[in-house]
Structure 1
Amino acid sequence: MHDLTTMAVTVFMGFFAMMNPIANTAVFVGMTGEQSAAQRKRTAFKALISAFFIISAFCLLGKAIFELFGITLPALRLAGGILVFLVGYHMLQGSSSKLHSHIPGEVDDDDDKDIAISPLALPILAGPGTIATAMNYSASGEVLNIIVTMCAFALLCVITFVCFLFGPKLIDKVGASGINITTRLMGLILTVIGMQMLIQGVHDAFTLFQHSAV
């Protein structure tokens, strides 16, 4: 029971640091500033539901993807660790990683453009770093790991949805300095998680090499 609780907290904190709901709320408010409260609510719901299904797909199909492309778990942990570390490093510098950010010039401002799917759901909410984190925790293929990973991300989506709904008030309360501090703190957590994934990947790769050599 203790191990399960520890795993659930670790997975949740990994997702929380990667998605950074506070900073993403500022992005969401900026992108939906011209929408009504009802439109903003629909956009937030659609974006988070889309992000949840994207992450769930990678959690459920992670093992099949590995087998299809001949990818080993150590390789994922090494690559994912580097990816997560880089996102965290950029956040430590007080800026968002390009992997989980939106550049206004890259998306047309047409009314027909559905920002809930892109860029909100992908890559801001369910970017490469979030996907790598999900696959790292669920890639063993064990049902318990997959369920815990999906539940942790679902809980984070609910929290993020609440943040989005009260976005303008939240941003006013936290302020620019509060967002900056939160971003740097999440960046620190991500760099540690990324380094842990790297260490585990190196250990697993060395163990796999030893077994292959025997």
Structure 2
Amino acid sequence: MNGIVDGVLLTEVFVTLFVIMDPVGTVPIFLSLTAGRSTSVSRRAAWQAVAVSFFVIAVFAFFGQQILEYLGISLPALQCAGGLLLLLVALELLTGNEQEPTAAVGTNVALVPLGTPLLAGPGAIVATMVFSREVHSFPDFAAVALGVVLVHVCLWAAMRYSLPILRLIRESGVLLVTRIAGLLLSAIAVQLVADAVRAFIAGQG
């Protein structure tokens, strides 16, 4: 297998992206954002979010540096923007305003904030761009590609099988999970912004 895939690079890519994208940590956020929706809508949101995330990651893996340079956007700026967007979502979860729109929310939730910037966030994008620079042969390319695919399979499985949890904890449990998810998401958002500010101060922006 080492002749086809670089096993060391594959492990590094998978572990790094798994930690950054955190499939287990997306479960409470997914449950809170899809609360009150039918099973089919929630399942569709799960695979749509993963598809959007995979598409964004793939685009930035191939063209990320060129896109940012063309638009004149620095990585800290991208990170700060993602953090602010997540903070808005977190505030909605904490205040309970996220359940006001009920009609076409399913698809929108899959796109934003699930697909991006929660899954395909600045951290995952930057990590993928860094790994893409290490691709010098087909085994390297296969390792990075397979690592990205495996992480997205884990993400889909975590959200897909969070539905039995939803049926188990009922509405009161969803409310509790929603508040916890809002708190965790706000912490993630603040950390993203803080890291971006630190990078700006260090002169990387």
Please report the TM-score for the alignment, with normalisation by the length of structure 1: 0.62
1:132 matched residue in structure 2:
121
- Return closer, same or farther for 1:162/1:129 CA change in 2, 3 Å cut-off: closer
Q: Could you tell me which residue of structure 2 aligns to residue 211 of structure 1?
A: none
Q: Does 1:11 align with 2:17?
A: yes
Note if 1:31 corresponds to 2:37.
yes
* CA distance 1:132–1:119, change in 2 (3 Å): same
Tell me which amino acid in the other structure corresponds to 1:157.
Answer: W
Q: For the structure 1 residues 67 and 184, does the alpha-carbon distance in structure 2 shift closer, same or farther, using more than 3 Å as the test?
A: closer
Match of 1:95 among 89, 92, 96: 92
Which residue does the alignment assign to 2:138? none
Give secondary structure in 2 for the equivalent of 1:126.
helix
Whole-angstrom CA distance in 2 between matches of 1:47 and 1:59: 18
Query: Contact 1:80–1:129 at 8 Å: present in 2 too?
Result: no
- Alignment match, 1:43: 41
Say whether the 8 Å CA contact 1:85–1:193 is kept in structure 2.
yes
Deviations 1:123-165 (A, max 9, x none): 2421345433332221232444554344333312211111134
Structure 2 unmatched ranges of 5 or more: 1-6, 136-140
* CA contact 1:14–1:193 (8 Å) conserved in 2: no
- Cα distance, 1:57 vs structure 2: 1.8
**Corresponding position of 2:4:** none
Query: 1:83 and 2:81 equivalent?
Result: yes
Percent sequence identity is 11
Q: Please say if residues 59 and 146 of structure 1, whose CA atoms lie closer than 8 Å, have aligned partners that are also in contact.
A: no
Would the alpha carbon gap of residues 198 and 12 (structure 1) be closer, same or farther in structure 2, given more than 3 Å must change?
farther
What is the CA–CA distance in structure 2 between the aligned matches of 1:154 and 1:202, rounded to whole Å? 37
| Counterpart Cα distance in 1 of 2:148 and 2:201 | 23
Tell me the equivalent position of 2:52.
54
Change (3 A) 1:183 1:10: farther
Q: List per-residue Cα deviations over 1:95-129 (Å, max 9, x = no partner).
A: 349xxx6761xx7x4xxx6x65x223212421345
The CA distance in 1 between the partners of 2:58 and 2:73, in whole Å, is 19
- Give the 3 Å change call, closer, same or farther, for CA 66–87 of structure 1 in structure 2: closer
| CA deviation profile, 1:2-59 (whole Å, cap 9, x unmatched) | 9986764553343249x74213313313132xxxxxxx1x333332222222221222
TM-superposed CA distance for 1:198, in Å, is: 5.3
With over 3 angstroms needed to count, the CA separation of the structure-2 counterparts of 1:7 and 1:88, relative to structure 1, is farther
Partner of 1:210: none
Aligned to 1:209: none
Read off the aligned partner of 1:49 and give its amino acid letter. W
TM-score (norm 2): 0.64
Cα RMSD (Å) of the superposition? 4.1
> Which amino acid letter does the alignment assign opposite residue 60 of structure 1?
A
5+ residue gaps, structure 1, are 33-39, 207-214
